[in-house]
Amino acid sequence: MMNGAMAQTIPPAHKMGIKVVEADRGRAVATVPFEGNGNHFGVVYAGVQFTVAEMLGGVIALATFDPAKYYPLVKNVDIKFTGMARSDLRAETSLSEDEITRVEAEAAENGKADFTLDAVVKDEAGQTVSVTHGLYQLRARGR
């Protein structure tokens, strides 16, 4: 469902070939191919690495919280590049049950709640090529 919706909601991510491979309560994983996403010196373009990690905030929010009541948005994301990405990539992140409970209660009471996510982007060999720290917000619909 999320992969189909991505073509409509985030066309650039869809064009990059980003695929959501896991979207469960408190967990999100996405992949992006190397093919078509390289830069002038043969590694995955930095913007592609950023996108595959950043969009996990929306994926995890939609998989964890009721999308009929809430929607996610990104407030800030910092990225650190730690290695050369020369293969397909996998990005993943998670939220603890305690954090899920806090965010849901705060959003229900105040109409919105901030949460942070740390994502790790790895190459096919399992080497970390970038890490992100993002500030996201869950907002109540109609408020």
pLDDT one-digit tens code per residue, 37-52? 999 999 999 999 999 9
pLDDT, tens digit, 9 for 90 and up, residues 78-120: 999 999 999 999 999 999 999 999 999 999 999 999 999 999 9
How many domains in the chain? 1
Give the list of residues 6+ apart from residue 99 with CB closer than 8 angstroms, or none: 115
Range of the domain at 120: 2-140
Cα distances (Å, whole numbers) of residue 42 to 19, 27, 36, 137: 22, 31, 11, 35
CATH number for the domain including 87? 3.10.129.10
In this prediction the pTM is 0.94
